[in-house]
Amino acid sequence: MRDDEPQNPLRRDPRVERDLRRYRKEAAAPAEAQSLRRNPRAERDRRRQRPAVQLSGSGLQARSPDFATSSPQKNLRKGRRGEDPGAIASRAPTSRSPETEILRLEAPSCWVLVVPDTPSGTLTTHDRDAIAAARLIADNKDGGVIALAPADATGYGLIGVDRLVPLPGTDADTGVRLALVESILAQCKPAHIVLPDTPLGGGHLGRLIATRQSLNIAPGVVRISGGELVRLSDGGRKEQTLPMAPVVLVAPEVSDPKPGPRREARVLPVPAPPAIEEAVQDHGLLPVDPYSVPLQEADFIISAGNGVSDWDSFSELAKVLNAAIAGTRAVCDANHLPRHRQVGASGTLVSPRCYLSFGISGAPQHLQGIARCERVIAVNTDLHADMIKRADLAIIADAQAVMPSLLALLRETR
């Protein structure tokens, strides 16, 4: 550039000019105008000082603004602060006496009779599933539920029972139950009878009732959908839909107990006729060799892995639990168990209701073999083992310490 050429002036920054104009405008504005600017904190304080309304015994009553200012309310459900306490109080449920909370059913459209097994006078999970299924069938027809069960087991009203026929004693045999069911059929005429499908309990009793009363029966029901029943067929690979039958034998977990209004569970006096003598007497289960039960048919399997060294406790635990014995490929390769006891992709694919494993890390081939198990309990020292991730219940401990403790606890309770 030559010396005689004029130099370019400095560039003007528009942001600097904008801030400068704003500063001059605020300086020229009067103080009153500046005080009218919006203050969010002041607005929030004014909202808190509005008179609140609360519910009193005689109606609506105004509360002083000092209370609202000193203790601001917070709506935890919606996350808004400063909400009117009266609005919160109006949404709060009013207290009711326990008598008004009980649903009393006087004239239902029909009755549904449920007969749980109640071994030793207590309700099992299968019994509760049967009661929930009976409640579902009754609700679809605006009916009520009658339970034939021991009166000592309390809480029937909380699980949906409207009437209770007490069993004489906690260990009533099949003949006594059958006689009481026939008395209930003559007196109340229930439209359906629901029982747990157990071989020596409800399954046997339900077939006796269906035979003596010439009623249709639906065994092995796994789902209740409206007015239809669904059961498994073809070895559990297909579903078969049946119409609602008078006698329904339900499988475990057919219906989950749902929270509902508390029922009355009123004791219904039913005269018991003379007990029916059965030609076949039930003397309980015979002891079964854990090594003789086929793994494909086992309902309860206890399995061992490399982490098991106390084989005496393992075998004794299987006998006490009446469980079939199984193991991993490594255990069978070490000749601790025969080859037909191996579970996995190269062994046997099992589908028991409960699979109890000790010292199994969880190889992919073994996890394929237990893919269809309903409940898996794993005992392992490694918290991050794949078997622990697969398990529904995990115990992080040594198998050699857990097995003797479990044996001692079982012997005390039995």
The three-state DSSP-derived secondary structure of 116-143 is: CCCHHHCCCHHHHHHHHHHHHHHHHCCC
For residues 176 and 221, membership in a common domain is answered with yes
Residue 124 inside a domain? The answer is: yes
Residue 142 inside a domain? The answer is: yes
SS3 state of residue 20: helix
Residue 169 inside a domain? The answer is: yes
SS3 state of residue 225: strand
Look at residues 328, 374, 393 and name the one whose alpha carbon lies nearest to residue 236: 374
Contact 132, 248 (CB under 8 A): no
Tokens of 336: 């601790």
* CATH number of residue 262's parent domain: 3.40.50.620
Given this model, what pLDDT does residue 49 score? 63
For residues 159 and 179, membership in a common domain is answered with yes
- Count up the domains in the chain and report the number: 3
Structure confidence by residue, pLDDT tens digits, 364-401: 999 999 998 989 999 999 999 999 999 999 999 999 99
Query: CB atoms < 10 A from the CB of 39, how many?
Result: 11
Q: Which segment of 94-98, 178-182, 222-226, 370-374 scores lowest on mean pLDDT?
A: 94-98
Residue 82 inside a domain? The answer is: yes
Which of 211, 246, 267 finishes a domain?
267
Using only C-alpha atoms, the chain has a radius of gyration, in whole angstroms, of 35
For residues 115 and 250, membership in a common domain is answered with yes
Residue 407 inside a domain? The answer is: yes
Residue 41 inside a domain? The answer is: no
Structural domain span for residue 88: 63-92
Q: Provide φ and ψ at 233, rounded to 5°.
A: -140, 175
The residue type found at 336 is H
Look at residues 300, 291, 305 and name the one whose alpha carbon lies nearest to residue 351: 300
Q: Is the four-CA dihedral 205, 211, 216, 220 of positive or negative sign?
A: positive
Does position 344 have pLDDT exceeding 90, yes or no?
Answer: yes
For residues 214 and 322, membership in a common domain is answered with no
**Residue the block writes with tokens 């839909």:** 241
For residues 230 and 330, membership in a common domain is answered with no
Tokens of 30: 């009067």
Mean pLDDT of 157-171: 85
For residues 111 and 77, membership in a common domain is answered with no
The residue type found at 55 is L
Q: Which segment of 5-14, 38-47, 137-146, 202-211 scores lowest on mean pLDDT?
A: 5-14
For 108-216, list the strands marked E by DSSP.
111-114, 144-149, 163-166, 192-196
Mean pLDDT of 276-298: 71
Long-range contacts of 235-243 (CB under 8 A, 24+ apart): 236/351, 242/218
Residue 120 inside a domain? The answer is: yes
For residues 250 and 107, membership in a common domain is answered with yes
Average pLDDT of every residue of the chain: 80
For residues 159 and 216, membership in a common domain is answered with yes
